[in-house]
Amino acid sequence: MGFSIAIDAVKPIIDQAIEHPEAPVAYIGVSTETVDAGIAAQFALPVDHGALVVAISPGGPASKTSIQVGDVIVEFAGKPINSSDDLGTAVAAKKPNDRVKLVVVKAGGSRVTVTVTLGVRPLPT
């Protein structure tokens, strides 16, 4: 399993960090991988697109919801999520403490709507 982020998705975040290094950045507290046909088949997922949750940060915003490792995020704040990049871009467009609704597909195929209050991305140590 590998992780990659398109430079176009992170460039605005990098520019903002350089300009305002102490500015708070929205954070959902999940690590994801893009769901494509291969990932969907490998993990027997009920969908062929979205952001597969592969880890949840302890104490992070997502950990306070019903989101679990293995869920697939397919919608964030009313916008379709087709990839991890889409999710990162959607989160970056929000502010800490914003409450957003996510549509999550569970392993059995059920779709649930989850409300999460975004946190502040922790600074690297």
Q: Where are the domains of the chain?
A: 7-120
For domain 7-120, the question of CATH label 2.30.42.10 is answered with yes
What whole-number percentage of the chain has pLDDT above 70? 80
Task: For residues 109 and 45, give the distance between their C-alpha atoms in angstroms, rounded to a whole number.
Answer: 8
Query: DSSP letters of 23-42?
Result: S--EE--EEEEE--HHHHHH
Average pLDDT over residues 81-109: 94
Handedness of CA 32, 105, 121, 19 (dihedral sign): positive
What are 31-47's pLDDT values in tens digits?
999 999 999 999 999 99
Report whether pLDDT(22) > 90.
Answer: no
What are 46-72's pLDDT values in tens digits?
999 999 999 999 999 999 999 999 999
pLDDT attached to residue 13: 59
Report whether pLDDT(24) > 80.
Answer: no
